[in-house]
């Protein structure tokens, strides 16, 4: 599965201005609505049935409880009624339900199937892996996260914006000889993901017991004295499933292969010069007896492979020098480079969360200082289809459509 969405990211999100943006010299200071970055990013990831975490970060776990600004449905209505203007509300981590031991017991009781033999390269002889003297249904496995196999998971193509959450802006400068055009794009993808979860019903039961004594009513942003018994004080998100990745790929390319050339250069330290991307080879003269070549085909010189390999090696050498003390928690490498684009991979030292699932919980006042929790269902069921002209969900007035979670 592959999906494409344009991200219009605001230059106003960084106080230092456009100079901090990888695309500053391509797009300039583009005027876009406030909050466009989080909004468009969220909608893109929600198509994969998960609630996004942006920027990706390690410190997100099952059992985390966030205070959210308001009911998800109300937030959805106000967002589209205001024509996507304004920043999205900021959720605040308010509590954590200690589910670590329960999660360990949960996964010890779940099946763990045999590993696939990855050494077999013959697709016609894909034998089913087996493990003798082992009960794969009862052995459990608490030594790893579970593999997530999304087709082209989180593969988004953007035409302008800030990708500093993925690749440090100090490392890469993308330039175009003919200025920014719609053909120059950035593709961000997660080639592999992992996850773990805990059943929502059991997590909610634990949350009721834990939050009743946590004093969470003090951080709801509402004076309990102003809320009558049974009145709504606010809303919480209880995370019950988290998706992680260890690798993020970022590709800079020109979607029109014969359009403006894209050069990859490194902001190298003094004394080091970043190598130039070699120009594309001219195609050989066409013969009237030959079949016509596709219009988008690039004819590479005979030594294109060695030239590209040398370029990648040189870029990585420059990158090591430029980023030796600036990339904590992982490393960045060039995977490929050519006249019309480069591909980079950022590998994290620890898995970073890119999304989650969970419950939306309504907090009601109960008595003088007590609270009651009411589950309002999942916050990640599916993303509705929107009618941008009417500023409301498609499907008719009588159809109840869930809102995308923020």
Structural domain boundaries in the chain: 11-109+149-279+297-393
Please say if the pLDDT value at position 108 is more than 90.
yes
> How many alpha carbons fall within 13 Å on the CB side of residue 97?
27
Structure tokens at 70: 């308001």
Amino acid 356: pLDDT: 92
According to DSSP, the β-strands at 184-189 and 156-158 are antiparallel
Please say if the pLDDT value at position 349 is more than 80.
yes
* Cα–Cα distance for residue pair 332/247, rounded to 1 Å: 10
* Cα–Cα distance for residue pair 5/159, rounded to 1 Å: 9
Please say if the pLDDT value at position 61 is more than 70.
yes
- Average predicted confidence (pLDDT) for the chain: 66
Please say if the pLDDT value at position 31 is more than 70.
no
| Of residues 257 and 66, more confidently modeled | 66
User: Who contacts 393 (Cβ-Cβ below 8 Å, separation ≥6)?
Assistant: 76, 384, 385, 386, 387, 399, 401
Compute the C-alpha angle 185/189/195, nearest 5°: 160
Structure tokens at 84: 């996507």
| Of residues 118 and 210, more confidently modeled | 210
Please say if the pLDDT value at position 224 is more than 60.
yes
Q: How far apart are the first and last CA of the chain?
A: 23
* Cα–Cα distance for residue pair 360/380, rounded to 1 Å: 9
Amino acid 116: pLDDT: 79
Query: What confidence tens digit (pLDDT) does each residue in 357-393 have?
Result: 998 888 888 877 778 888 876 554 434 434 444 444 4
Please say if the pLDDT value at position 46 is more than 60.
yes
The structure tokens 């970043």 sit at 274
Amino acid 345: pLDDT: 85
Please say if the pLDDT value at position 247 is more than 70.
yes
Residue 84: closest CA among 139, 159, 8, 16: 8
Amino acid 89: pLDDT: 66
| Of residues 200 and 339, more confidently modeled | 200
Please say if the pLDDT value at position 265 is more than 50.
no
Structure tokens at 347: 């590998």
- What is the 3 state secondary structure string of 22-91? CCHHHHCCCCCCCCHHHHHHHHHHHCCCCEEEEEEECCCCCCEEEEECCCHHHHHHHHHHCCCCCCCCCC
- pLDDT class of 254 with cuts at 50, 70, 90: low
DSSP string over 151-213: TTTT-EEESBS--TTTS-TTTEEEEETT---TTEEEEEE-S-EEEEE--HHHHHHHHHHHHTT
Lowest mean pLDDT among 26-30, 131-135, 276-280: 26-30
| Of residues 5 and 207, more confidently modeled | 207
Query: What confidence tens digit (pLDDT) does each residue in 80-100 have?
Result: 555 555 555 678 899 999 999
Please say if the pLDDT value at position 181 is more than 60.
no
Element (H, E) at 244: strand 232-254
According to DSSP, the β-strands at 156-158 and 392-393 are unpaired
* Cα–Cα distance for residue pair 337/261, rounded to 1 Å: 12
Amino acid 88: pLDDT: 58
Amino acid 36: pLDDT: 54
Amino acid 264: pLDDT: 46
- pLDDT class of 177 with cuts at 50, 70, 90: very low
Query: What confidence tens digit (pLDDT) does each residue in 268-312 have?
Result: 444 444 444 444 444 444 444 444 454 444 544 545 555 667 777
Structure tokens at 381: 């069921």
Element (H, E) at 371: strand 370-378
Ramachandran angles phi, psi of 333, nearest 5°: -135, 145
- Report CA-CA distances (Å) from 164 to 14, 83, 169, 224: 11, 26, 6, 41
* Cα–Cα distance for residue pair 194/145, rounded to 1 Å: 6
């Amino acid at each position: 599965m592959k999906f494409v969405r344009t991200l219009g990211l605001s230059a106003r999100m960084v106080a230092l201005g456009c100079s901090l943006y990888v695309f500053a010299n391509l797009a300039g200071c583009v005027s876009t609505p406030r909050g466009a970055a989080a909004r468009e990013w969220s909608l893109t990831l929600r198509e994969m049935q998960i609630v996004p975490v942006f920027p990706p970060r390690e410190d997100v776990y099952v059992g985390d409880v966030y205070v959210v600004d308001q009911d998800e449905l109300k937030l959805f209505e106000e967002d589209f009624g205001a024509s996507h203007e304004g920043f999205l509300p900021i959720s605040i981590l308010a509590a954590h339900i200690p589910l670590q031991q329960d999660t360990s017991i949960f996964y010890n009781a779940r099946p763990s199937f045999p590993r696939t033999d990855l050494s077999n390269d013959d697709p016609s002889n894909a034998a089913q892996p087996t493990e003798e003297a082992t009960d794969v249904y009862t052995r459990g496995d608490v030594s790893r996260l579970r593999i997530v196999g999304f087709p082209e998971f989180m593969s988004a193509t953007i035409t302008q914006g800030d990708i500093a959450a993925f690749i440090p802006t100090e490392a890469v400068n993308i330039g175009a000889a003919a200025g920014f055009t719609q053909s120059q794009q950035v593709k961000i993808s997660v080639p592999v993901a992992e996850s773990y979860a805990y059943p929502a019903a059991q997590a909610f039961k634990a949350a009721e017991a834990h939050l009743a004594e946590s004093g969470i009513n003090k951080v709801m942003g509402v004076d309990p004295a102003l809320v009558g018994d049974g009145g709504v004080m606010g809303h919480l998100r209880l995370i019950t499933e988290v998706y992680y990745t260890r690798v993020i790929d970022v590709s800079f390319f020109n979607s029109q292969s014969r359009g403006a050339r894209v050069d990859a250069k490194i902001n190298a330290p003094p004394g080091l010069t970043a190598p130039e991307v070699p120009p594309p080879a001219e195609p050989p003269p066409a013969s009237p007896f030959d079949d016509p070549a596709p219009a988008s085909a690039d004819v590479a010189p005979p030594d294109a492979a060695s030239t590209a390999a040398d370029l990648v090696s040189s870029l990585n050498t420059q990158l090591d020098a430029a980023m030796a003390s600036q990339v904590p928690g992982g490393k960045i490498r060039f995977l490929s480079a050519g006249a019309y684009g480069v591909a980079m991979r950022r590998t994290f030292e620890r898995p970073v969360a890119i999304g989650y699932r969970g419950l939306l919980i309504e907090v009601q006042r109960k008595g003088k200082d007590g609270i009651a929790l009411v589950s309002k269902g999942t916050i990640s069921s599916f993303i509705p289809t929107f009618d941008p002209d009417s500023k409301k969900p498609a499907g008719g007035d009588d159809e109840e459509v869930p809102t995308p979670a923020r």
